[in-house]
Amino acid sequence: ASLAAGIVIVLLRMGSLSKDIEVLQTNLLEMEDVTSLLSSPGMEFMDLRGIGPNERAFGKVVYDKDKGNGFVYMYQLPQTPEGMQYQIWVMWDGVPTSAGTFSVEDNGSAVLTLTGLPDPAKIASFDVTLEPEGGLTSPTGMMYLTGSEVP
C-alpha cells in the first residue's frame, strides 16, 4: 500500500513538473519575442496614463512600427464589472480600430500582445476603454488609459 501511495505521489509530481516546464517554455518564447522587439530598429515606446478617477493606472506600449507587432503592459487598472472587459484602441487620423479585449489580473495588471497592426508607422495614440464583454467596433465606454506619441 505504501509503495502504491509512493508511486501515486511520484506520478502527481511528474504531472506538476510537466506543467511547470510548459509554463517556462511559454515564458521563454515571450522573452525571445520581447528581446527581438527591443532590438528592432523600428521599435517605438508610448506611455499610457490614467484618466480622471483612474489616474493611478498607467502602462507602456512597445511596438515595432515597421512590422506592426508589440506588447502593451498595463498596471493598477480596476477590476471590471460582470459582463465587461477592457478594450484597447489604436488611433489613426482620429479613427479608432480595436486591437483586442482583455481582463486584468487580481493585482490590476495586464499584458496584451499586439499583432498585425495596419500601417503602424502612422499610429497616433493608444486608448483603453471599458466595453461590454467581447468588445465593440467603436469605443463607447469610459476611457481608462490614453497615450500618444510626442512629435
Q: What is the domain extent for residue 13? A: 1-39
User: The CATH number of the domain where 105 resides is what?
Assistant: 2.60.40
User: Does one domain contain both 59 and 128?
Assistant: yes
| Integer angstrom CA distances of residue 30 from 39, 52, 63, 81, 84 | 14, 33, 14, 29, 27
User: Does one domain contain both 58 and 132?
Assistant: yes
Q: What is the pLDDT of residues 102-144, one digit of tens each?
A: 999 999 999 999 988 877 778 889 999 999 999 999 999 999 9
Cα separation, 78 vs 133, in Å, equals 15
User: Does one domain contain both 134 and 115?
Assistant: yes
User: Does one domain contain both 74 and 134?
Assistant: yes
Cα torsion angle, 81, 123, 58, 143, sign: negative
**More confidently predicted of 12 and 50:** 50
Q: Measured over all CA atoms, what is the biggest interatomic distance in the chain, rounded to whole angstroms?
A: 73
C-alpha cell at 28: 521563454
User: Does one domain contain both 22 and 49?
Assistant: no
User: Does one domain contain both 74 and 120?
Assistant: yes
User: Does one domain contain both 90 and 122?
Assistant: yes
Q: What is the pLDDT of residues 66-112, one digit of tens each?
A: 888 889 999 999 999 999 999 999 998 888 999 999 999 999 999 99
Q: DSSP letter at 77?
A: P
Radius of gyration of the chain (CA): 20
User: Does one domain contain both 30 and 47?
Assistant: no
- The CA angle 94-85-83, to the nearest 5 degrees, is 130
The reported pTM is 0.74
Domain count, the chain: 2
- Residue 23, pLDDT > 80, answer no
